[in-house]
Amino acid sequence: MTPLLVNIAAVCSLLAMPLVLTSVASAPAASDSNVMDLLMPGVSPKQEDTYLCTAVKLDKNRYIRAFNPQHQSGHAHHIILTACKEPGSATEKVWNCGEMLTKSEGAAGDKTYKQAPQCASDTRIIYAYAMDAPALQLPDGVTFGVGPGFDLPWLVVQVHYKKASDFVKNPSLKDNSGVKMTYQTTPSPKLGGVHISLTDGVIPAHSVTHMETSCSYDGQTTLHPFAFRTHTHSHGRVVSGYRVRDGHWSLIGSANPQMPQMFYPVNGSGVIRPGDMLAAKCVMENTGDKDVSIGATQKDEMCNFYMMYWIRADDVGKDGSRMCYTSGELWDLAPSSVMAASATVPGTERVFREMNREMDRMDRMMKQMLLNGERAASGIDMPGFEDEANEFYADQPEDFIEF
Ligand SMILES: *[C@@H]1O[C@H](CO)[C@@H](O)[C@H](O)[C@H]1NC(C)=O
């Protein structure tokens, strides 16, 4: 199929499967159903891999219950919606929000737009769309609460324009991609959230490396996971997330990160309670001659596992830190069945066994210590989410992008 046909098919399937749920039980009064758009105001990116952001400030709380991506003629390669305390730019209508950490090499994308991050503080990803990705259905009664009452008054949408040739050929062409949201003004019984697990580390040349993280869940309410999303660059082979309770590992989600990096329904059905642990792993394969580190540029890697969940609305704020970033000791205790499953690309027989696990681990720890030392010395933060916006779905050339 030509890209145009693919795109039309994606639009049609979205029309056929609206995200709005029809259950009578929890549907709010028809009068409390509103639509708001957050769309690019007619942009014309002239460079490939341009990431543009536009924002809206909310003066009242909104409870978003459906996301409907808007994209024209296949220009938008991916769309990411975040809520934030402060946007990357409160003055520009549109800004270039790509590749913030590659200053030394010059920022990617169209430089006629001012460069700024997607959010300046408190970035919360609430929705992501990539071409051809299936629609994500929020469970009954779940909304994402945004607005001043949540200390998240801004919504920022990022659109990745992978190709610019149409805009270069036709200077009058303007794009209005973005997200249409259906929301209610009354609170819903359940609130959605996103938890992120991420690692640091190095993937040595010619190696298969398991990048791992594990944390105790530090919230005070039950999390009900319903969707997950994986994110790596080109070296990721399989990414998985588990709940660990009393030594028993249950799968939350596992996927091949070379598939569209959308939120997919969870594979397992368990909930996360105080006292549980969360563990995530990325199996990375580096067939090249150079070591590859976790970092924020196109040449670096990332290992991220996103878990979308709901909590009871009464428990707002009790869902803990929403982030896990450790060296993943719990994985040393993983049963062999979990080691095998987490190294197998879903739907295939392909198993990536770490060679010389102990040696690799020592090596990684040494490199990580050096890396952390350098970072501390140069004042650079750990690879953050602020950037998570930046690349997601780009096809995977040898050297790639980030967040
Ligand atoms: C989990 O779900 C994803 C997305 O639907 C799917 O690609 C993957 O194969 C599933 N994993 C397992 C282990 O079943």
Q: Provide block-wise average pLDDT over 10 residues at a time, the chain (403 residues).
A: 31 31 45 93 90 96 93 82 94 84 50 89 87 77 96 95 91 94 95 95 93 97 96 94 97 94 91 98 95 82 95 95 93 94 93 69 70 64 41 32 27
Whether residues 297 and 198 share a domain: the answer is yes
- pLDDT for residue 136: 74
Q: Are strands 190-198 and 142-146 parallel, antiparallel or unpaired?
A: parallel
Alpha carbon distances (Å) from 287 to 78, 207, 235, 330, 400: 28, 7, 9, 27, 15
Residue 42 resides in a domain: yes
Rounded to whole angstroms, how far apart are CA atoms 57 and 327?
A: 38
Strand-pair partners of 281: 212, 240
Rounded to whole angstroms, how far apart are CA atoms 178 and 172?
A: 19
Whether residues 211 and 354 share a domain: the answer is yes
Whether residues 16 and 36 share a domain: the answer is yes
DSSP state of 4: H
| Ligand 1 binding pocket includes 258 (Cβ within 6 Å) | no
Q: Which two tokens stand for residue 164?
A: 């610019």
- pLDDT for residue 355: 63
Q: Which atom of ligand 1 is nearest to the CA of 251?
A: 13
Domain holding 256, by residue range, is 191-376
Whether residues 252 and 364 share a domain: the answer is yes
**Catalytic residue IDs:** 77-78, 158, 160, 231, 233, 302
On whether 231 is known to bind a ligand per the annotation, the reply is yes
| Ligand 1 binding pocket includes 219 (Cβ within 6 Å) | no
- pLDDT for residue 22: 32
- pLDDT for residue 100: 45
| Ligand 1 binding pocket includes 267 (Cβ within 6 Å) | yes
Centroid of ligand 1 to alpha carbon of 192 (angstroms): 21
SS3 content of the chain, % helix, strand, coil (to 5): 15, 35, 45
On whether 302 is known to bind a ligand per the annotation, the reply is yes
Closest protein CA for atom 4 of ligand 1: 264
- pLDDT for residue 332: 93
- pLDDT for residue 28: 54
Centroid of ligand 1 to alpha carbon of 266 (angstroms): 8
- pLDDT for residue 139: 93
Cβ contact 229:262 at 8 Å: yes
- pLDDT for residue 4: 32
Q: Residue 32: what residue type?
A: D
Residue 393 resides in a domain: no
Whether residues 177 and 224 share a domain: the answer is no
Residue 318 resides in a domain: yes
Whether residues 180 and 69 share a domain: the answer is yes
H or E segment and range at residue 265: strand 264-265
| Ligand 1 binding pocket includes 344 (Cβ within 6 Å) | no
Whether residues 201 and 225 share a domain: the answer is yes
- CATH code of 177's domain: 2.60.120.310
| Ligand 1 binding pocket includes 392 (Cβ within 6 Å) | no
- pLDDT for residue 10: 31
Strand-pair partners of 184: 63
- pLDDT for residue 78: 84
Residue 396 resides in a domain: no
Alpha carbon distances (Å) from 142 to 27, 58, 186: 10, 20, 12
Mention every residue, 6+ apart, whose C-beta is less than 8 A from residue 352: 208, 237, 238, 283, 285, 343, 344, 345
Whether residues 232 and 177 share a domain: the answer is no
Q: How many residues does the chain have?
A: 403
Tell me which residue of 356, 199, 352, 343 sits closest to 278, measured CA to CA.
199
Whether residues 174 and 195 share a domain: the answer is no
| Ligand 1 binding pocket includes 264 (Cβ within 6 Å) | yes
Alpha carbon distances (Å) from 225 to 221, 251, 316: 13, 11, 16
- pLDDT for residue 275: 96
Number of domains within the chain: 2
Closest protein CA for atom 3 of ligand 1: 255
Question: Around Cβ 329, how many Cβ atoms within 10 Å?
Answer: 11
Where a domain ends, among 164, 188, 212? 188
Alpha carbon distances (Å) from 180 to 183, 239, 323: 10, 30, 28
Listed in order, strand segments (DSSP E) in 133-290 are 142-146, 154-161, 178-184, 190-198, 202-203, 207-216, 224-231, 236-245, 248-255, 264-265, 277-286
Centroid of ligand 1 to alpha carbon of 206 (angstroms): 27
Residue 7 resides in a domain: yes
Rounded to whole angstroms, how far apart are CA atoms 25 and 140?
A: 9
Whether residues 139 and 195 share a domain: the answer is no
